């Protein structure tokens, strides 16, 4: 065969033919012929080369010297003996089956009938080495179907590879240990590729396990994130957690910082826990795609810190709300105080100018009085609200007659109703028990406010009806009372209904219509009702009227020893024989009180402070002073001290002079202190003249010095009373 080889089959044919020629005697290897030279070349090739039958016993046909060297064989005969003259003897028995299977699979799948396998061999010295095997399946005319193989000793490469692998495995183990150490405390760790929309779990806890069937499972992140939120996150935190764990938001946050965290609550088996999710950018810097998410149960200290921060936040919010409320309050007060003040000052100027004109003068004085009344009711309202808000509202539990209370409410509103020709009816037929043990004064106060509004906001010739419905309550000793005040007045617009119980809220049309008011009445009524455990409700329709219902649960039996209700005394005429000592440091008050008492026919003496009063009484003849009107806040000696000193005087007549406090200090504690210092009654300023006279005459003419401070109340001349 002198033609050049056109295919490797030709080449193998050639080798086989030469091989056959020299087989047995070795001549072909020794001759200097071309074929001999060629075979010599193949024999001496640095890489291993061998040919074997593809089928049957896979008998070896040829192997070069390199191949023999790989197996530590010096001769072909040794090699044949070692391998059983078969490819099967070349491969380590443990690898053989897999190697054969791999070769044939590759041949089947390969377009060029090529294969590559790697396997162990056992050398003649019993050493195990590794071999690379690049085989080609061909059909030769001489030998039939054969494999020719280029083989090389890959033991060293394999060793290096194994070393590199074990080094990588060691590094990976160290890396995992490091990760484990750093991630201690993270119950659950996820690796996310935002670009690929993949999330893979590295560590799962009892929650995330519900989202992944097993560790290392891969899910779509865009499905996992909302699934986690809806399954575990507390409903109130869901929106913000969903937002913070959405891909876009994570990208935005990690663009600024390498890591951020989200704190939220999870709910499991009905109990709530705080969790911190830390999200770290683990990809290349400058891009946000690969992230690690670690879920950690927050320890008690962090939870406390969060709660502390929440408290601070709430406190700040309430402080801000309080500032807004205070500013609104001051703005309202400023407006509501200025309006009547303006009237007082304006009409005083006019009165001075026209003091000769009796008719005009009277008109101006009436206007000044009305403005004064308005100021007073505002002041009383604000004081009352502040008292209620500060929790200083004391609710009595005394025997009282609802019939009397309601009749008094009606009587108080009658004159205003009469002036507008409004029919004011009281129907008590729905009431079974008249006597209850409660705070009658406060019930009257609540209802007075509402009835007064009914009259105020009902046009002339209208109708205001008060009726009571009594129902069984949940305890045998109590009953539910519904006090219903119905009018056919102007009604209240729907948008206003929700606000009428808030301070200073007045409907525009009532403000514009010129009906006087402070916007505090209903706030007070509702607050008191609530303090008594009750409610105030309203239904109303513009143009048709309003129905207010006050619901209270009242005791029918005396469950607690209460304080007896006020004793009301009829005023007695004064005869001008009695002497009153007015103790007052403010000149204008002194002037008014003196004028009032003189006008009522009393003799008057004055003292500028408590110490002067004590001296005057001490040095007086017993019986000279019949009564003392005592201011409380005074320089040098206040009214309480002065009273105590007078009560400790040696002369029983002097030490028992009736003393009536007349003070701008109007809270329950002030009245209590008056009583404790030894005063007989406590009246509030501004002075309600008829009441003051009533109290004085009751003490002087009827000798009744046992008046309780509860009888001393300042009327709200706009309609309600301010008993407390
Ligand atoms: P005011 O001093 O303005 O009467 P209130 O707190 O008593 O203050 O009432 C608040 C507002 O509720 C009133 O200004 C008025 O607009 C409305 N209002 C209260 N009662 C009635 C009623 N019976 N009919 C119509 N409007 C009413």
519 C-alpha vs ligand 1 centroid, how far in Å?
7
Q: What gap in Å lies between CA 130 and CA 157, rounded to an integer? A: 9
**Residue that the structure tokens 């810190």 belong to:** 305
Atom 11, ligand 1: residue with shortest CA distance? 506
Mean pLDDT of 197-221: 84
Report pLDDT digits (tens) over 278-289: 999 987 777 888
386 C-alpha vs ligand 1 centroid, how far in Å?
20
484 C-alpha vs ligand 1 centroid, how far in Å?
16
403 C-alpha vs ligand 1 centroid, how far in Å?
25
Question: Which of 382, 422, 506 has most ligand 1 atoms within 8 Å of its beta carbon, as the pocket-test mutant?
Answer: 506
Which pairing describes strands 579-583 and 627-630: parallel, antiparallel, or unpaired? Answer: parallel
493 C-alpha vs ligand 1 centroid, how far in Å?
11
Q: What gap in Å lies between CA 245 and CA 261, rounded to an integer? A: 10
Q: CB 237: neighbour CB atoms within 10 A?
A: 20
Atom 16, ligand 1: residue with shortest CA distance? 507
Residue ranges lining ligand 1, Cβ < 6 Å: 453-454, 457, 487, 489-492, 500, 505-507, 510, 517-523, 546
Question: Which of 336, 446, 447, 453 has most ligand 1 atoms within 8 Å of its beta carbon, as the pocket-test mutant?
Answer: 453
pLDDT of residue 511: 57
Is residue 52 pLDDT above 80, yes or no?
A: yes
**Alpha helices for 233-299 (secondary structure H):** 238-244, 247-256
Which ligand 1 atom sits closest to the C-alpha of 520? Answer: 6
Atom 21, ligand 1: residue with shortest CA distance? 453
Share of the chain above pLDDT 70, in %: 88
Is residue 79 pLDDT above 80, yes or no?
A: yes
From 241-250, 316-325, 636-645, 707-716, the region with the lowest mean pLDDT: 707-716
Q: Are 509 and 563 in contact (CB under 8 A)?
A: no
Which ligand 1 atom sits closest to the C-alpha of 510? Answer: 16
567 C-alpha vs ligand 1 centroid, how far in Å?
32
Atom 8, ligand 1: residue with shortest CA distance? 519
327 C-alpha vs ligand 1 centroid, how far in Å?
22
pLDDT of residue 5: 56
Q: How confident is the model at residue 552 (pLDDT cuts 50, 70, 90)?
A: very high
Atom 4, ligand 1: residue with shortest CA distance? 517
466 C-alpha vs ligand 1 centroid, how far in Å?
17
Which is higher by pLDDT, 546 or 565?
546
pLDDT of residue 509: 56
Q: How confident is the model at residue 101 (pLDDT cuts 50, 70, 90)?
A: very high
Atom 12, ligand 1: residue with shortest CA distance? 500
Atom 19, ligand 1: residue with shortest CA distance? 453
Which ligand 1 atom sits closest to the C-alpha of 450? Answer: 20
pLDDT of residue 50: 94
Question: Which of 379, 382, 492 has most ligand 1 atoms within 8 Å of its beta carbon, as the pocket-test mutant?
Answer: 492
As given in the structure block, the two tokens for residue 360 are 């005009």
The enclosing H or E element of 539 equals strand 535-541
457 C-alpha vs ligand 1 centroid, how far in Å?
7
506 C-alpha vs ligand 1 centroid, how far in Å?
6
**Candidate ranges 54-68, 328-342, 698-712; pick with highest mean pLDDT:** 54-68
Q: Are 722 and 378 in contact (CB under 8 A)?
A: no
The enclosing H or E element of 715 equals strand 714-715
pLDDT of residue 128: 95
Report pLDDT digits (tens) over 6-19: 667 777 877 777 76
Atom 25, ligand 1: residue with shortest CA distance? 491
333 C-alpha vs ligand 1 centroid, how far in Å?
17
415 C-alpha vs ligand 1 centroid, how far in Å?
19
Mean pLDDT of 560-568: 40
Which is higher by pLDDT, 571 or 376?
376
Q: What is the gyration radius of the CA atoms in the chain, in angstroms?
A: 54
As given in the structure block, the two tokens for residue 196 are 């690929």
pLDDT of residue 313: 87
As given in the structure block, the two tokens for residue 124 are 């003649």
Q: Are 658 and 636 in contact (CB under 8 A)?
A: no
pLDDT of residue 297: 84
Q: Are 441 and 724 in contact (CB under 8 A)?
A: yes
Closest residue by Cα to residue 280 from 269, 265, 264, 296 = 296
532 C-alpha vs ligand 1 centroid, how far in Å?
22
Question: Which of 486, 522, 527 has most ligand 1 atoms within 8 Å of its beta carbon, as the pocket-test mutant?
Answer: 522
pLDDT of residue 510: 55
Mean pLDDT of 471-480: 86
The set of long-range contacts for 32-40, using a CB threshold of 8 Å and a minimum separation of 24, is: 38/14, 39/15
pLDDT of residue 287: 81
Q: How confident is the model at residue 177 (pLDDT cuts 50, 70, 90)?
A: confident
Listed in sequence order, the residues at least 6 apart from 223 whose beta carbon sits closer than 8 Å to its beta carbon are none
CA distances (Å), origin 54, targets 145, 149, 420: 6, 11, 126
Question: Which of 510, 512, 524, 543 has most ligand 1 atoms within 8 Å of its beta carbon, as the pocket-test mutant?
Answer: 510
Q: What is the 3-state secondary structure (H, E, C) of 669-707?
A: HHHHHHHHHCCCEEEECCCCHHHHHHHHHHHHCCCCCCC
458 C-alpha vs ligand 1 centroid, how far in Å?
11
Report pLDDT digits (tens) over 304-324: 887 788 888 888 887 787 777
Is residue 706 pLDDT above 80, yes or no?
A: no
Give the global pTM.
0.44
Listed in sequence order, the residues at least 6 apart from 537 whose beta carbon sits closer than 8 Å to its beta carbon are 548, 549, 551
Atom 23, ligand 1: residue with shortest CA distance? 454
Which ligand 1 atom sits closest to the C-alpha of 449? Answer: 7
719 C-alpha vs ligand 1 centroid, how far in Å?
13
Which ligand 1 atom sits closest to the C-alpha of 718? Answer: 2
Q: What gap in Å lies between CA 502 and CA 521, rounded to an integer? A: 10
Q: What gap in Å lies between CA 346 and CA 367, rounded to an integer? A: 10
Which is higher by pLDDT, 534 or 707?
534
**Is the four-CA dihedral 318, 323, 325, 329 of positive or negative sign?**
positive
Question: Which of 462, 521, 529 has most ligand 1 atoms within 8 Å of its beta carbon, as the pocket-test mutant?
Answer: 521
Q: Are 420 and 458 in contact (CB under 8 A)?
A: yes
504 C-alpha vs ligand 1 centroid, how far in Å?
10
């Amino acid at each position: 065969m002198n033609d050049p080889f056109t295919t490797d089959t030709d080449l193998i044919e050639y080798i086989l033919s030469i091989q056959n020629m020299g087989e047995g005697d070795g001549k072909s290897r020794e001759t200097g012929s071309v074929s001999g030279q060629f075979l010599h070349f193949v024999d001496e090739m640095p890489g291993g080369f061998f040919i074997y039958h593809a089928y049957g016993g896979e008998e070896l046909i040829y192997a070069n010297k390199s191949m023999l060297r790989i197996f530590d064989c010096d001769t072909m005969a040794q090699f044949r003996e070692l391998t059983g003259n078969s490819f099967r003897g070349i491969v380590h028995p443990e690898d053989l089956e897999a190697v054969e299977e791999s070769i044939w699979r590759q041949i089947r799948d390969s377009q060029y009938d090529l294969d590559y396998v790697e396997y162990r061999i056992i050398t003649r010295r019993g050493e195990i080495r590794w071999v690379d095997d690049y085989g080609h399946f061909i059909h030769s005319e001489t030998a039939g179907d054969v494999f020719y193989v280029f083989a090389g000793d890959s033991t060293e490469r394999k060793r290096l590879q194994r070393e590199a692998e074990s080094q990588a495995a060691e590094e990976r183990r160290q890396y995992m240990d490091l990760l484990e150490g750093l991630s201690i405390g993270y119950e659950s760790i996820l690796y996310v590729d935002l670009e690929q929309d993949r999330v893979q779990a590295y560590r799962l806890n009892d929650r995330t396990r519900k989202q992944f069937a097993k560790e290392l499972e891969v899910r779509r992140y865009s499905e996992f994130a909302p699934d986690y939120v809806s399954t575990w996150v507390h409903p109130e935190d869901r929106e913000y957690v969903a937002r913070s764990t959405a891909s876009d938001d994570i990208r935005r946050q990690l663009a600024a910082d390498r890591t951020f965290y989200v704190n939220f609550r999870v709910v499991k088996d009905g109990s709530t826990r705080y969790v911190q999710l830390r999200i770290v950018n683990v990809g290349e810097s400058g891009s946000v795609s690969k992230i690690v998410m670690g879920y950690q149960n927050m320890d008690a200290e962090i939870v406390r810190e969060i709660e502390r921060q929440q408290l601070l936040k709430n406190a700040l919010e309430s402080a801000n709300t309080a500032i807004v409320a205070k500013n609104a309050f001051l703005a309202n007060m400023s407006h509501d105080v200025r309006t009547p003040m303006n009237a007082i000052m304006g009409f005083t100027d006019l009165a001075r100018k026209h003091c000769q004109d009796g008719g005009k003068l009277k008109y101006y004085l009436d206007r000044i009085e009305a403005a004064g009344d308005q100021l007073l009711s505002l002041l009383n309202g604000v004081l009352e609200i502040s008292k209620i808000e500060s929790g200083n509202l004391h609710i009595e539990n005394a025997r009282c007659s609802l019939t009397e209370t309601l009749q008094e409410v009606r009587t108080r509103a009658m004159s205003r109703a009469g002036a507008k020709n409004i029919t004011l009816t009281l129907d008590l037929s729905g009431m079974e028990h008249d006597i209850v043990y409660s705070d009658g004064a406060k019930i009257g106060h609540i209802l007075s406010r509402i009835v007064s509004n009914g009259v105020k906001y009902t046009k002339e010739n209208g109708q205001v009806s008060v009726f009571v419905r009594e129902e069984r309550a949940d305890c045998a000793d109590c009953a539910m009372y519904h006090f219903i005040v119905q009018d056919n007045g102007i009604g209240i617009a729907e948008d206003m209904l929700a606000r009428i119980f808030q301070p200073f809220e007045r409907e525009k049309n009532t403000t514009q219509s010129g009906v006087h008011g402070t916007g505090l009445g209903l706030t007070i009524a509702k607050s008191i009702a609530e303090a008594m455990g009750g409610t105030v409700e309203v239904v109303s329709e513009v143009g048709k009227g309003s129905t207010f219902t006050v619901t209270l649960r009242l005791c029918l039996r005396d469950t607690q020893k209460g304080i007896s209700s006020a004793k009301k005394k009829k005023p007695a005429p004064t005869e001008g024989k009695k002497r009153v000592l007015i103790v007052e440091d403010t000149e204008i008050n002194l002037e008014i009180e003196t004028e009032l008492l003189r006008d009522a026919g009393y003799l008057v003496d004055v003292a500028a402070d408590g110490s002067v009063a004590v001296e005057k009484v001490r040095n007086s003849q017993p019986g000279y002073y019949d009564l003392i009107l005592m201011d409380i806040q005074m320089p040098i000696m206040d009214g309480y001290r002065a009273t105590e000193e007078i009560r400790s005087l040696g002369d029983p007549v002097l030490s028992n002079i009736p003393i009536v406090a007349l003070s701008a200090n109007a809270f329950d504690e002030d009245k209590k202190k008056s009583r404790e210092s030894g005063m007989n009654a406590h009246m509030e300023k501004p002075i309600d003249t008829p009441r003051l006279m009533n109290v004085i005459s009751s003490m002087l003419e009827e000798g009744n010095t046992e008046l309780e401070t509860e009888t001393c109340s300042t009327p709200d001349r706009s309609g309600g009373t301010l008993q407390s």
